[in-house]
Structure 1
Amino acid sequence: MSEGRGAVAGEERLRRWRLVLGGDADGTGCALGNRDAQLDAALSVLYNRDEEERGAGLGASAPRVARWLGDIRSYFPSTVVQVMQKDALRRLNLTRLLLEPEMLEAVEPDVHLVGTLLSLNRVMPEKARESARAVVRKVVAELERRLAQRTRAAVTGALDRSARTHRPKRVADIDWDRTIRANLRHYLPETGTVVPERLVGYARRQRAVQREVVLCVDQSASMAASVVYSGVFGAVLASMRSLKTSLVVFDTAVVDLTPELHDPVEVLFGTQLGGGTDINRAIAYAQGLITRPNDSIFILISDLYEGGVREEMLRRVAAMTAAGTQVIVLLALSDEGQPSYDHDNAAALAAMGVPAFACTPDAFPGLMAAAIERRDVAVWAEQHLGVPSAR
């Protein structure tokens, strides 16, 4: 490297360290240009350690906060902006300012922001409600674009595979590829043909419902992102005629949002984040929705911190599995990493053969496919998520 290039690289390193450390007395001796100085000021508002300075940076002024949000959107990519918004809500206590339409128009919409808006739903003034709906609608549309087609394809493929038959009724129903593979040992080299000893084909496509799916979602505050993703997935599954999909949310009460599944935005605004948790009551309600246990998948999305009757909750789960219902517990349905959960309840469920693990939204279509095909979901989770079912 030439001396000139080395000097430039050194200056760039000092510039980056100056931005990381913040403040003039950082020891780098590096002066910032105009844009870097503006970027540094935006970061200092949020991450400067001086509480008074941080408070003075934004105060409680919605216009000032809105300008700051506009600044960081011009300085950083959207993924970084979303992290900074989340930190701002926590570190600068800006949650109440989200009730201002001006604020809602300035923010970068994301799942965490939707969760915060849903938690404020009951106290949101009417003038902010339409702005909040626009934010939620934008996030939901993006999630549907990312996840809907993959979910429908995975579920449809799983339903087709689960309907295999060794007695296809028509030639058109024969799966020739699988039939040839299954009969390769009967290959006759002298004629260059395979003699099929057994056929593999598709059962007649059924117009009727093939599976019942019940999503039972804990709407305590810690499950905010899971509630958002569950609402979107619930709407996607409900759009498939081969499935009968129900969506239930709960805290200490139970709300059946199945009638709203045609519109995931309505589903999300039908939730009420926060409050206690009565898993037992929610499972009791869900049991009444299942009419064909052997063809049913019950997915409980909860961190398992039970405020109701624990022993009765476990008895209900045992009764569901004994009746033939496939029960799966998702400790979280989000991208937030390892969740906090009740290890004792997870271990008790595991002892019954009920897997409990955290699932990312991108992996959920594969999970549904595995459940429909009645594969071992605990093994699937270890293979595809890299984590064993909770113990």
Structure 2
Amino acid sequence: MNEAEERLRRWRLVLGPEAADGVGVTPEGRDRRIDESLEALYGGGEGRRGGLGASAPNVARWLGDIREYFPAPVVQVMQRDAIERLDLTRLLLEPELLDAVEPDVRLVGTLLSLAKVLPEKARESARAVVRKVVADLEARLADRTRAAVRGALDRAARASRPRPSDIDWDRTIRANLRHYLPERRTVVPERLVGHGRKSRAVEREVILCLDQSGSMASSVVYAGLFGAVLASLPTLKTSVVAFDTAVVDLTERLHDPVDVLFGTRLGGGTDINRALAYCQGLVSRPERTVLVLVSDLFEGGDRGQMLARAAALVRSGVQVIALLALSDDGAPAHDHATAEALAALEIPAFACTPDAFPELLAAALQRLPLPVP
């Protein structure tokens, strides 16, 4: 097939059956199956809907087809479009569909929102989908997060007057090179730099406070994973709190990030004030505590009291950060007025990608300027 023919073939698949006369190409063999898969979802004429049918076997067959014909990122986009355009949410309750889907973070958010209504036969399939996504995210993020946080805690704990056994000679020499004496061929160490004392005592405390409203689904997935990773560090006390109009403490579930995620209930209202009140009760050492509020800041409770509570946390010494999103989704919809009010209280409010979060938290633990995107 020459270049011109290939270009016409692609245009025919993009434009669908209604373009057949204009393009002059009739899909055959594999192309015909690709064309049918696209037509079933995206349809053709005005007001026309796709034709997957209202049965799980038809949808399962379609999911299998698109996984065969398209790369995983395209499959994930088509799955999301199918859920939004064709109301496939109720069909995701069928375990054969869950076995056929391409797992991704957005799909996990959909499954978590359905967790309370999943029939027994679908729950294990749903957990398997969530566990696969969590495993992929852990492989991508966990080691970097542990390394960044351990490094931050070590630097924060480094002593200015270390015991002889705690001196970090490499850093001490580099810190005193300007005091090198050529005639004696030695460095005079005016300032000693020490290693952080080797201890399993808790050095810092982190509280992740997660908004469970429906728009925060991807953020909840990432934050739940980060909470489980941070909980594995013995010198860090980690708490994870999720909220809508009520508050649930998920800290005891942090041994398994899948349990953390299934402990959330996406889609409720929002009472940030109540959530901050609960988090205040968790703070034991304010000057050593970082509180990360993951929320779009659309407060359904008492906004004035919420801002007053946030101000009190800052005055006590807690470092408070408001993440408008912890996801790869780009600029989030959020309450701009509340974000500006928090900024006036010296509480930064911005979105953060999962890949940037380890460095952000490391800076917060050391009380350094935050690497705001």
Q: 1:178 and 1:265 mapped to 2: Cα distance?
A: 41
Q: Note the 1:12-27 alignment, pairs <5 A.
A: 12-26=6-20, 27=22
Does 1:251 pair with 2:251?
A: no
Task: Indicate if the aligned counterparts of 1:44 and 1:54 stay in contact, CA closer than 8 A.
Answer: no
Percent identity for Structure 1 against Structure 2: 69
Residue from 141, 157, 171 that aligns with 2:151: 157
Does 1:336 pair with 2:323?
A: no
Q: Give the aligned partner of residue 349 of structure 1.
A: 342
Task: Indicate if the aligned counterparts of 2:158 and 2:197 stay in contact, CA closer than 8 A.
Answer: no
- The secondary structure found in structure 2 opposite 1:202 is coil
Q: Give the aligned partner of residue 203 of structure 1.
A: 196
Q: 1:127 and 1:51 mapped to 2: Cα distance?
A: 38
Q: Note the 1:37-186 alignment, pairs <5 A.
A: 37-50=32-45, 54-55=49-50, 57-170=51-164, 172-186=165-179
Q: 1:291 and 1:35 mapped to 2: Cα distance?
A: 63
Runs of 4+ in 1 over 3 A off after TM superposition: 49-55
Q: Give the aligned partner of residue 388 of structure 1.
A: none
Does 1:286 pair with 2:279?
A: yes
- The secondary structure found in structure 1 opposite 2:199 is coil
Q: Give the aligned partner of residue 3 of structure 1.
A: none
Q: 1:373 and 1:128 mapped to 2: Cα distance?
A: 45
Equivalent pairs counted in the alignment come to 372
Q: Please report how far the alpha carbon of residue 98 of structure 1 lies from its aligned counterpart in structure 2 after TM superposition.
A: 0.5
TM-score by length of 2: 0.96
Task: Indicate if the aligned counterparts of 2:16 and 2:44 stay in contact, CA closer than 8 A.
Answer: no
CA deviation vs aligned residue, 1:18-76 (integer Å, no higher than 9, x gap): 22222242522233231112111111111224377534x21211100000000000011
Q: 2:157 and 2:28 mapped to 1: Cα distance?
A: 66
Q: Please report how far the alpha carbon of residue 181 of structure 1 lies from its aligned counterpart in structure 2 after TM superposition.
A: 2.3
TM-score by length of 1: 0.92
Q: 1:298 and 1:166 mapped to 2: Cα distance?
A: 27
Residue from 357, 360, 365 that aligns with 2:358: 365
Q: 1:347 and 1:25 mapped to 2: Cα distance?
A: 50
Q: Please report how far the alpha carbon of residue 178 of structure 1 lies from its aligned counterpart in structure 2 after TM superposition.
A: 2.2
Task: Indicate if the aligned counterparts of 1:45 and 1:53 stay in contact, CA closer than 8 A.
Answer: no
Q: 2:191 and 2:239 mapped to 1: Cα distance?
A: 39
Q: 1:334 and 1:16 mapped to 2: Cα distance?
A: 33
Closer, same or farther in 2 for the Cα pair 1:225/1:331, shift >3 Å? same
Q: Give the aligned partner of residue 33 of structure 1.
A: 28
CA deviation vs aligned residue, 1:225-278 (integer Å, no higher than 9, x gap): 111111111111111111111111000011111111111111111111112100
Residue range with higher mean Cα deviation, 362-371 or 189-198: 189-198
Does 1:192 pair with 2:182?
A: no
- The secondary structure found in structure 2 opposite 1:300 is strand
Give 1:134's aligned amino acid: A
Q: 1:22 and 1:176 mapped to 2: Cα distance?
A: 69
Q: Note the 1:226-237 alignment, pairs <5 A.
A: 226-237=219-230
Give 1:9's aligned amino acid: E
Closer, same or farther in 2 for the Cα pair 1:296/1:216, shift >3 Å? same
Q: 1:102 and 1:50 mapped to 2: Cα distance?
A: 31
Which runs of 5 or more structure 1 residues have no equivalent in the other structure? 1-6, 386-391
Q: 2:359 and 2:105 mapped to 1: Cα distance?
A: 21
Which runs of 5 or more structure 2 residues have no equivalent in the other structure? none
